[in-house]
Amino acid sequence: MFELDIQVVQDDPQLPTEAQCLSWLAAAQAELIAYDADEFSDQNYAITLRFVDALESQQLNETYRGINKPTNVLSFPVDDWDEAGLPAELLAELGTPHVGDLVFCVPVMSAEAQEMAISPEAHWAHLLVHGYLHLHGFDHLKDDEAALMEGLESKIMCQLGFADPYSEAELAD
């Protein structure tokens, strides 16, 4: 279902494994299909997951968002290959459609998990799901968009056996 290109710039013993990432992505994809099967039909995707240090995260955040500090996750969606009008031969040569890149800042992620008193695994799962939804066009800039995106995240996280990241108890920590 997914081809992962995992790039580790900053290693950490608490980084998620490829198997964990694949299971979390599969749950997110299943929920997207349940949400809108026509829009999010079961497809194969290639995704790059890049685990970086604070400097690279800060540089990317400054370049692409105008914010001069590192951040937990950045998402870089790729335009829909189906709408690009590429010839069938080229699509076949390119292989699995690349849905986008997710760039995680390892030190920020670790610090956030500690500050929120949650397991690193739960935080990695949440922000991988969060980033994956961004790759599919979900956002949280407006209240109605945030409610939809957070609702999907909560449902997926609970299905994975994690606490709801937006529950009052989790937010109070």
Q: Which residues of 61-87 are buried (b: 16+ CB within 10 A; e: fewer)?
A: beeeeeeeebbbbbbeebeeeeeeeee
Quote the CA–CA distance of 164 and 154 in Å, as a whole number. Answer: 5
98 annotated to a ligand binding site: no
Helix (H) or strand (E) holding 76, with range, is strand 73-77
Quote the CA–CA distance of 159 and 162 in Å, as a whole number. Answer: 7
123 annotated to a ligand binding site: no
Backbone angles phi, psi at 111, to 5 degrees: -65, -40
Which residues sit in the known binding site for Zn(2+)?
Answer: 130, 134, 140
Which residues sit in the known binding site?
Answer: 130, 134, 140
